[in-house]
């Protein structure tokens, strides 16, 4: 057992950049930059629930870290360190090598040190702790949205949902979009450039993991506000092109999870700053609505001007 799991550990012993001591002692030693808070999150992924036994191990390695990196970006912080605790039914060398490859590819892409961990035998379970840094007092939380703020979303929400429906339900996807949708699902790109750049601009922010409406609900709850989404401003064109089904495209955009785009609010007077940021990062930033007083709840303003009340899980006429 010991030597078998020593072998496993060797897959996770690459050099670090932000770490004074990564392994080989009772604990790791990290140095947080002066004047910074530590930003910390943990995520537990269970086989059969969050991923399947036949999930590509390289994709799983990438995604299990990427979704955690996204949590740090969503606070406006820079990711620095990850810990990986891993339970495996057996030491499957090929699986491990592939998982480690994907994990480190993501770590290197987003400048994260794997700086500690644990390995044990057991039903397959990945517990990833991610830590980042943010200048003290500047983290972008969920509770800062105010009535009148604009509502923004980054990039292209909805592609991961189209990919999932493609794989699970054989939803046809047009060839030029299929790979991009599958990549969004399997290799999400956390918005680590955008998140920190929105410090001092965004009033509230989170990453879209469960769907735009559901996650927007967390901002509304935490901030005590409502919101109105402007249907004409939703980035649906590419989704419609991909699946040739406007209703599906809207469902993917508003209720599809797993894209890890950033959803944020900002005062209207920051529009020019946000448009400039979009240019600088070469990343579309869509102003999809605005924050309202809490009494107005969550509504969708259709192109014809009618306002449809929304539940946070989507539209009854789509999902019913």
Q: Is 142 annotated as a binding residue?
A: yes
Whichever of 137 and 305 has its CB closer to a second copy, that residue is 137
Nearest CA-CA partner of 86 in 39, 125, 55, 131: 125
Cα–Cα dist 94/170, whole Å: 30
Is the CB of residue 76 less than 8 Å from the CB of residue 195?
yes
Whichever of 171 and 196 has its CB closer to a second copy, that residue is 196
What H or E segment, with its residue span, contains residue 9? helix 2-10
Quote the least distance from Cβ 37 to a second copy, whole Å.
5
Q: Is 71 annotated as a binding residue?
A: yes
Provide the angle, in degrees to the nearest 10, between the axes of the packed helices 57-73 and 93-109.
Answer: 30
Whichever of 31 and 168 has its CB closer to a second copy, that residue is 31
Whichever of 207 and 228 has its CB closer to a second copy, that residue is 207
Q: Is 258 annotated as a binding residue?
A: yes
Q: Is 304 annotated as a binding residue?
A: no
Cα–Cα dist 259/42, whole Å: 19
Quote the least distance from Cβ 304 to a second copy, whole Å.
34
Whichever of 229 and 262 has its CB closer to a second copy, that residue is 262
Quote the least distance from Cβ 87 to a second copy, whole Å.
5
Cα–Cα dist 275/197, whole Å: 12
Q: Is 51 annotated as a binding residue?
A: no
| Chain residues that interact with a second copy, rule: CB under 8 A | 20-21, 24-32, 34, 37-50, 71-72, 74-75, 77, 81, 83-87, 115-123, 125, 127, 129-132, 134, 136, 139, 141-143, 206-207, 222
Residue the block writes with tokens 């699902």: 185
End-to-end CA distance of the chain: 51
Residues belonging to the binding site are 26, 41, 43, 50, 71, 117-118, 142, 207, 209-210, 258, 315
């Amino acid at each position: 057992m010991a030597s078998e799991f020593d072998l496993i550990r060797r897959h996770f012993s690459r050099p670090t950049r932000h770490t004074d001591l990564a392994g080989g002692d009772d604990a790791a030693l990290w140095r947080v930059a002066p004047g910074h808070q530590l930003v910390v999150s943990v995520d537990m992924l269970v086989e059969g629930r969050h991923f399947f036994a036949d999930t590509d191990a390289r994709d799983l390695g990438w995604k299990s870290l990427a979704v955690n990196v996204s949590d740090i970006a969503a606070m406006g912080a820079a990711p620095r360190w990850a810990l990986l605790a891993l339970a495996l039914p057996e030491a499957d060398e090929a699986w491990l090598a592939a998982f480690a490859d994907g994990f480190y590819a993501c770590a290197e892409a987003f400048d994260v040190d794997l700086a500690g961990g644990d390995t044990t035998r057991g039903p397959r379970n990945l517990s990833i702790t991610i830590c980042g840094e943010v200048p003290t007092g500047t983290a972008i939380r969920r509770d800062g949205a105010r009535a009148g703020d604009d509502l923004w979303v980054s990039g292209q929400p909805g592609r991961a949902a189209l990919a999932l429906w493609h794989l699970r339900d054989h939803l046809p996807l047009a060839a030029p979009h299929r790979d991009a949708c599958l990549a969004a699902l399997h290799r999400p790109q956390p918005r680590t450039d955008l998140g920190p750049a929105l410090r001092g601009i965004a009033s509230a922010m989170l990453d879209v993991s469960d769907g735009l409406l559901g996650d927007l609900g967390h901002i509304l709850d935490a901030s005590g506000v409502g919101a109105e989404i402007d249907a004409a401003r939703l980035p649906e064109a590419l989704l419609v092109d991909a699946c040739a089904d406007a209703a599906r495209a809207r469902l993917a955009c508003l209720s599809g999870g797993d894209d890890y785009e950033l959803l944020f609010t900002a005062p209207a007077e920051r529009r020019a700053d946000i448009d400039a940021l979009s240019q600088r990062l070469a990343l579309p930033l869509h102003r999809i609505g605005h924050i309202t007083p809490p009494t107005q709840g969550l509504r969708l303003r259709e192109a014809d001007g009618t306002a449809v009340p929304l539940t946070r899980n989507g539209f009854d006429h789509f999902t019913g």
